[in-house]
Amino acid sequence: MLSAEQILEVPIDRRAFKPTSEECPFCVNAIVKENGSKCIGVCRNPQNVPGPLFFPHQMQTCRDAVQVQLESMKDKNNPRTDHGVQVMWEFSVESGNMDRSRYFGFSSDMYHFDHFLGKCLVNFDAFVFNTKHEILDETLMNDGRTLVRVIVTDKVGRDSFWAFIMVKRTFSKYEGCWQSLRILPCDEKWDCKYLNVHTGEPKMPGI
């Protein structure tokens, strides 16, 4: 067996490797562009991946649905890059909708997964590689939604406080399943600028 130093001394025959345009089934028959490349960028699109391993199911409780999302973000790149974010997307009741959403608290679109990907990683950075999470309780809100309080410990050991507003889907392939309508940050006293976490009363329209 060669040592690491010996392996590095072996010259690489670049002719043994095919470029992406010859290996990729999307690009192999594509027209060569002005820059000489045949790559059409399909494999670089984060939407061109199979469905997630974890998804809403009628056997899950409200607590289960929150737990699955946070566990997926705990190891978000298993079994592939950003798989945890894909699970979050799948558990969002408004994912793919054309209308504006208050999923993050602020108004944003939920139509494209690649847009969601960036916003999720920025706004839910505490979820990424979290070391632990504790679901404190569930509260039935006046409008029938369920508010779940969660403490998340991030990758550096810092605690953050979150309100998951959960609903049961009434249509589509996830009918009867628990999904997230809003995921809102709170402070250590459970004060949230979007709603009163103790009563479930919204502080602004659309929450």
Domains contained in the chain, number: 2
Q: Residue 167: inside a domain, yes or no? A: yes
At 202, is the secondary structure helix, strand, or coil?
Answer: strand
Q: Residue 202: inside a domain, yes or no? A: no
Cβ proximity of 149 and 128 under 8 Å = no
Please indicate, yes or no, whether residues 26 and 111 belong to a single structural domain of this protein: no
Please indicate, yes or no, whether residues 30 and 90 belong to a single structural domain of this protein: no
Query: Residue written as tokens 């504006």?
Result: 100
pLDDT tens digit at each of 207 positions of the chain: 666 666 666 665 544 445 544 556 556 666 676 666 666 554 555 566 778 999 999 999 999 999 999 999 999 999 999 999 999 999 999 998 889 999 999 999 998 898 899 999 999 999 999 999 999 999 999 889 999 999 999 999 999 999 999 999 998 899 999 999 999 999 999 999 988 887 778 887 777
pLDDT at site 17: 45
DSSP bridge partners of 80: none
Q: Which domain holds residue 117?
A: 62-186
Q: What is the value of pTM for the model shown?
A: 0.76
CA distance 131 to 159: 10
At 133, is the secondary structure helix, strand, or coil?
Answer: strand
Cβ proximity of 68 and 91 under 8 Å = yes
Q: What is the DSSP string of 113-152?
A: HHHHHHHHHHHTTTTTT-SEEEEEEEEE-TTS-EEEEEEE
Q: Residue 146: inside a domain, yes or no? A: yes
